Amino acid sequence: MRSKGGSTTSAEPAPEEYSAAVDAAELLSVRLIHSEFTVEAEAYQRDKSSWKRSYGCEAQGVAFNAKRDRLSGSVVAEVVCRTGRKRIVVAKCRYLVDYAIKGSPTDTAAETFFGRVGVFAAYPYFRSHFAELTSQAGLLLGPLPVLKESARPMPRAEMNDPADA
């Protein structure tokens, strides 16, 4: 599972096509549709400072319906706390994320938008849900880190050259 947002399509849209999708999209809802949480009994007997925590968030099953002006997909988020190879705490959730998307962006641009932005719409809900689950389980764990995305390289033609100014 990727720990960053990412496109779910193999082809990248042209920048102006992607911008059209960004301008056309409005978040309608983020709904939790599945949640799993497990804690091993030994989690209460171990020193949490030695735990290694990994997390990820990934867009899946993206569908764009231009006739209904709707962009939908699911986002799967997961966190695993380990000591050595042993999984001590695991939380995995699936969210349904819906956007109204007006205008006429291309399918590729709309799906790329969801892959890049949909994970950022759902992840704060997952962070909150994980905090609630661990609190109710009596585990004092710090909050999950914010989700970050690496910078995308820009084609040379799009870069502003200070010498041109």
What is the tally of structural domains in the chain?
A: 1
Calpha distance 73→98 (Å, rounded): 7
Residue 86 lies in a domain: yes
Residue 123 — very low, low, confident or very high, per pLDDT cuts 50/70/90?
Answer: very high
Side-by-side strand order, sheet with 86-101: 25-39, 86-101, 70-83, 52-65
Residue 110 lies in a domain: yes
Q: What residue spans of 35-165 are helical by DSSP H? A: 107-113, 119-136
**What number is the average pLDDT over the span 74-102?**
96
Q: When comparing pLDDT for 143 and 152, which is higher? A: 143
Ranking 3-7, 12-16, 52-56, 59-63 by mean pLDDT, the lowest is: 3-7
Q: Tens digits of per-residue pLDDT, 16-54?
A: 899 989 999 999 999 999 999 999 998 998 788 889 999
Say whether pLDDT at 149 is over 90: no
The residue range of the domain holding 46 is 15-139
Residue 127 lies in a domain: yes
Residue 43 lies in a domain: yes
Residue 29 lies in a domain: yes
**What number is the average pLDDT over the span 63-72?**
94
Handedness of CA 127, 129, 134, 140 (dihedral sign): positive
Residue 5 lies in a domain: no
Whole-number pLDDT of residue 7:
43
Residue 3 lies in a domain: no
Please state whether the predicted TM-score (pTM) of the whole model is above 0.75.
Answer: yes
Q: How many CB atoms lie within 10 A of CB 121?
A: 19
Residue 131's domain is classified under what CATH number?
3.10.420.10
Whole-number pLDDT of residue 3:
39
